[in-house]
């Protein structure tokens, strides 16, 4: 298996392709890729910085220049509390594996790299939203379900 590595600006188009794979797997998703052109330069810029965003990838073993898996996450500050005085949280999103590269441990390798990055950034808690298919992976990594009454407002 190829080791997970930090994504670079050169990976941006493939990162967007895998993000679209994830989006396409969601119920009520919008299959449009028109947003990719506008998102690509922003993603390249974010991948070039060593800031609060990181993506880890595994190169596709059979398609040079393609990615097999992607995991992306951010570090966010929340005002500290009793369980985390520093208020540093990690958030995982855009976990995707190319359909022809699934069940090879690539997403697990990417998650391991991202979790290590979170530790290095001082995160004491990591959150994510899991599909039923992916939940066994996250549980095997130590994630536990939490009741979270999420509300959303689009601006």
Residues forming a β-bridge with 5: 57
Percent of the chain with pLDDT over 70: 92
Query: What's the residue count for the chain?
Result: 155
Q: pTM to 2 decimals?
A: 0.88
pLDDT at 19: 92
User: What's 10's DSSP letter?
Assistant: G
Question: Is the pLDDT assigned to residue 67 strictly greater than 70?
Answer: yes
Question: Is the pLDDT assigned to residue 61 strictly greater than 80?
Answer: yes
- How many other C-beta atoms are found inside a 10 Å radius of the C-beta of residue 104? 17
pLDDT tens column, 124-135: 889 988 888 888
Residues 44-50: what's their mean pLDDT? Answer: 91
Closest alpha carbon to 73 in 102, 51, 47, 94: 94
Which domains does the chain show, CATH number per domain? 5-140 (3.40.630.30)
pLDDT at 39: 87
């Amino acid at each position: 298996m190829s080791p997970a590595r930090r994504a670079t600006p050169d990976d941006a188009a493939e990162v967007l392709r895998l993000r679209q794979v994830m989006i396409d797997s969601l119920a009520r998703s919008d299959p449009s890729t028109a947003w990719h052109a506008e998102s690509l330069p922003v993603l390249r810029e974010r991948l070039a910085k060593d800031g609060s965003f990181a993506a880890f990838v595994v190169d596709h073993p059979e398609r040079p220049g393609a990615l097999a898996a992607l995991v992306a996450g951010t570090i966010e500050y929340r005002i500290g509390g009793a369980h985390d005085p520093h208020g540093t949280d990690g958030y995982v999103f855009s976990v995707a594996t190319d359909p022809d590269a699934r069940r090879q441990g690539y997403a697990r390798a990417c998650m391991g790299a991202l979790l290590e990055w979170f530790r290095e950034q001082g995160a004491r808690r990591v959150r994510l939203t899991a599909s039923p298919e992916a939940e066994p992976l996250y549980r095997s990594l130590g994630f536990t379900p939490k009741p979270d009454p999420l509300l959303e407002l689009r601006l």
